[in-house]
Chain A
Amino acid sequence: MRHLLSTGDLSRDEATLVLDTAAELAQVSGRSVKKLPTLRGRTVVNLFYEDSTRTRTSFELAAKRLSADVINFSAKGSSVSKGESLKDTALTLQAMGADGVVVRHPASGAAHRLAGWVDGAVLNAGDGTHEHPTQALLDAYTMRARTGRVEGLRVAVVGDVLHSRVARSNVLLLHTLGAEVTLVAPPTLMPVSVHTWPCAVSYDLDAVLPKTDVVMLLRVQAERMQNAFFPTAREYSRRYGLDRDRLARLPDHAIVMHPGPMVRGMEISAEVADSARSTISEQVANGVSVRMAALYLLLGGS
Chain B
Amino acid sequence: MCARKRAESDAEASPAADPTAPGAQTARTVLDGPEIQRALTRIAHEVLERTKGAHDVTLLGIPSRGVPLARRLAERVEQVEGRAVPWGSLDITMYRDDLRLAPARALGRTEIPPQGVDGRVVVLVDDVLFSGRTVRAALDALNDIGRPRAVQLAILVDRGHRELPIRADYVGKNLPTSLRESVDVRLAELDGRDAVLLGPARPRPGEEDDR
Question: Is chain B in direct contact with chain A in the complex (CB below 8 A)?
Answer: yes
Give the B-binding residues of A (Cβ under 8 A). 1, 4, 10, 14, 17-18, 20-21, 24-25, 27, 31-33, 35-38, 66, 294, 296-302
Give the A-binding residues of B (Cβ under 8 A). 1-3, 91, 94-95, 99-110, 140, 143-146, 206
Most interface-central of B3, B95, B105, B206 (chain A CB within 10 A): B3
**Nearest chain B CB to A67's CB is how many angstroms away?**
10
Contact B102 A36, beta carbon cutoff 8 Å: no
**Cβ-defined partner of B106 (8 Å) among A20, A32, A299, A302:** A20
**Cβ-defined partner of A301 (8 Å) among B102, B143, B146:** B102
Chain A residues with Cβ below 8 Å from B1 are 1, 4, 10, 14, 17-18, 294, 297-298
Starting from the known contacts A1-B2, A21-B3, A33-B143, 20 additional A-B residue pairs (CB-CB under 8 Å) come to A14-B2, A17-B106, A18-B1, A20-B106, A21-B106, A24-B110, A31-B144, A33-B144, A38-B95, A66-B94, A296-B94, A297-B3, A300-B94, A300-B99, A300-B104, A301-B100, A301-B102, A302-B100, A302-B101, A302-B206
Most interface-central of A4, A37, A38 (chain B CB within 10 A): A37
**Nearest chain B CB to A166's CB is how many angstroms away?**
20
Mostly helix, strand, loop or mixed at chain B's interface?
loop
Contact B145 A31, beta carbon cutoff 8 Å: yes
CB contact under 8 A between A36 and B94, given known A297-B1, A302-B101: yes
Chain B residues with Cβ below 8 Å from A35 are 144
> A301: nearest residue on chain B (CB-CB)?
B104
Contact B107 A302, beta carbon cutoff 8 Å: no
Complex CA gap A4/B144 in Å reads 29
Complex CA gap A18/B143 in Å reads 26
Complex CA gap A1/B206 in Å reads 19
A-B contact pairs, 10 of them (CB 8 A): A1-B2, A14-B2, A17-B106, A18-B1, A32-B146, A37-B95, A37-B140, A296-B104, A301-B105, A302-B101
Contact B99 A301, beta carbon cutoff 8 Å: yes
Contact A301 B3, beta carbon cutoff 8 Å: yes
